[in-house]
């Protein structure tokens, strides 16, 4: 066997390649390079890959598409398939394992408010454990985070808490996440011009005074050049023992709102004051998440600080306590603007955007077409630029961003202008004025894709001044 091993197919492969090069007229020797035998270049499409390009690859600078090269038969593959046959796939098709979805709630916790000391004691006697407690001035009550007894189903534990104190409110500890960030390779669009956003010097009289905006988001890089001359205050709520969330999302959203006028990423209201509450942490699945306990604390903190407009570029499930707090904030005049979510047209409503007291914002591109991953539904109120929006990167510099997260700040900034023009305007007044002044897109009137239509910043400011007079 050893004497004839050179006759085996593997040993003959180099010889057959040499012979083929001499006799195959379809492959000229001056066109055959080592690159033909190596892996073909792959170009990343960070905006979804596969459902936009029509089968073509995107150039690395995003400027266009790269046609596929044709160099005749793939000699290397032909010969290796002949002499080194690949083992057959099982079933003839590669089976992809479905991605495990991120958790939507803590598996063993309940959050409640309105419990008396005696009621808490009785729950503890049945196996509940108090993990955290915080005074929520907005509710005039203490917020309690409870760990449920071992082996008790989560739904049964919630019902037990409600039964123990009929006057209380209780729900799961739901998780909320920043809108999925999608990096874009193309040139950024003039988002502010799309909605008629006036330059700082072009703001109508009485519609650009000092204003404080609230932001509930991930960690922010306050040392970014975009905030060098701004008035930004960052408050972190999460336990110091938890890993800090990423700074990409929060920094980008904050820069859209208050980025310096002379920076690479000028914000919509560069002279405004921003109170940013970092209510997120890095989860065990390496996802940025905030649970409802910290969201309620963040909103209560902004209310105590007198914030009248708050941006929430995040989404998650419906929660009874979050709905209660949002309603009370609206009654007190706070305008809450939230991203509609990037789950796609068939996804269910995302919260807090889907609450009636919140302005739900979807995203459109520079041609006023809907962002293909944006959520839809009767709860959608307004559309704003959210595709290839130029804003700050997490460490330094800038880059385009895409998602409903980056559309919400445009509406929040417009609401802040209106509030500065008429401090007596209620949340409902501003909600109504923004809808009436919007540029109708899609089906006439309010629809599930665009809501009332594209934000019209200049008209919205004029409407607020009329109400003030």
> DSSP of 160-221, one letter per residue?
HHHHH-TT-EEEEEEEEEEPPPEE--SPPP-HHHHTTPPPGGGPPTTSS---EEEEEES---
DSSP 451: B
Q: Cα-flanking dihedrals φ and ψ of residue 182, to 5°?
A: -120, 120
- Distance of alpha carbon 267 from alpha carbon 75, whole angstroms: 56
β 358-364/382-385 pair status = parallel
Cβ contact 409:253 at 8 Å: yes
Query: CA 338 to CA 360: how far, in whole Å?
Result: 5
Q: Of 174, 224, 245, 249, which residue is the catalytic one?
A: 249
Total residue length of the chain: 469
Least Cα distance to 380 among 404, 357, 361 occurs for: 361
Contact 315, 341 (CB under 8 A): yes
Instruction: State the burial class of residue 206 (Cβ atoms within 10 Å of its Cβ: 0-12, 13-18, 19+).
Output: middle
Which member of 245, 263, 315, 405 is catalytic?
405
Return d(Cα 22, Cα 25) in angstroms, integer. 8
- CA distance between the termini of the chain: 102
Question: Could you give the 3-state DSSP secondary structure of residue 23?
Answer: helix
Q: What distance in Å separates the CA atoms of residue 198 and residue 408, rounded to the nearest whole number? A: 18
Identify whether the C-beta of residue 313 lies closer than 8 Å to the C-beta of residue 328. no
Tell how strand 273-278 and strand 231-236 pair up: parallel
Distance CA 402, CA 386 (A): 5
Those residues with Cβ within 8 angstroms of residue 155's Cβ, 6 or more apart along the chain or in another chain: none
Active site residue 405: yes
d(CA 325, CA 297): 10
CA dist list (Å): 268 to 103, 198, 417? 35, 9, 10
Catalytic residue among 47, 171, 174, 217: 217
Residue 406 to residues 188, 257, 266, 398, 441, Cα–Cα distance (Å): 13, 10, 14, 14, 19
Q: What is residue 69's three-state secondary structure?
A: coil
Residues known to be catalytic: 217, 249, 405
């Amino acid at each position: 066997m050893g004497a004839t091993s050179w006759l085996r197919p593997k040993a003959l492969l180099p010889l057959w390649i040499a012979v083929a090069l001499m006799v195959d007229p379809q492959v000229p020797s001056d066109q055959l390079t080592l690159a033909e035998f190596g892996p073909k270049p792959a170009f990343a499409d960070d905006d979804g890959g596969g459902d936009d390009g029509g089968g073509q690859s995107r150039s690395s600078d995003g400027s266009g598409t790269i046609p596929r090269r044709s160099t005749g038969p793939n000699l290397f593959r032909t010969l290796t398939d002949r002499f080194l046959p690949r083992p057959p796939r099982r079933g003839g098709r590669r089976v992809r394992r479905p991605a495990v979805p991120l958790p939507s709630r803590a598996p063993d916790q309940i959050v409640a408010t309105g419990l008396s000391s005696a009621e808490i004691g009785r729950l503890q006697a049945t196996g509940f454990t108090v993990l955290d407690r915080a005074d929520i001035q907005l509710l005039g009550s203490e917020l309690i985070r409870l760990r449920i007894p071992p082996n008790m189903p989560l739904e049964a534990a919630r019902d037990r808490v409600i039964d123990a104190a009929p006057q209380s409110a209780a729900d799961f500890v739901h998780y909320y996440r920043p809108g999925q960030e999608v990096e874009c390779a193309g040139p950024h669009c003039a988002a502010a011009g799309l909605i008629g956003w006036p330059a700082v010097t072009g703001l109508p009289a009485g519609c650009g005074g000092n204003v404080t905006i609230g932001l509930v988001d991930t960690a922010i890089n306050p040392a970014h050049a975009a905030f060098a001359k701004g008035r930004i205050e960052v408050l972190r709520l999460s336990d110091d023992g938890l890993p800090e969330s990423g700074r990409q999302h929060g920094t980008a959203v904050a820069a859209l709102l208050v980025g310096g006028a002379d920076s690479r990423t000028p914000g919509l209201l560069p002279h405004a004051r921003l109170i940013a509450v970092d209510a997120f942490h890095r989860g065990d699945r390496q996802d940025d998440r905030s649970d409802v306990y910290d969201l309620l604390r963040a909103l209560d903190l902004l209310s105590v600080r007198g914030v009248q407009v708050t941006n929430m570029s995040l989404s998650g499930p419906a929660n009874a306590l979050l709905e209660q707090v949002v309603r009370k904030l609206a009654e007190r005049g706070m305008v809450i603007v939230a991203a509609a979510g990037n789950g796609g047209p068939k996804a269910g409503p995302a919260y807090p955007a889907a609450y009636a007291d919140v302005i739900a914002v979807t995203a459109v591109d520079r041609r006023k077409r809907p962002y293909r991953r944006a959520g839809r539904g009767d709860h959608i109120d307004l559309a704003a630029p959210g595709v290839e929006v130029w804003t700050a990167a997490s460490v330094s510099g800038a880059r385009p961003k895409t998602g409903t997260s980056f559309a919400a700040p445009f509406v929040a900034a417009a609401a802040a202008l209106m509030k500065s023009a008429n401090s007596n305007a209620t949340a409902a007044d501003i909600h109504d004025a923004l809808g009436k002044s919007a540029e109708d897109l899609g089906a006439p009137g309010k629809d599930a894709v665009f809501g009332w239509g594209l934000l019209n910043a200049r008209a919205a400011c004029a409407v607020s001044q009329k109400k003030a007079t």
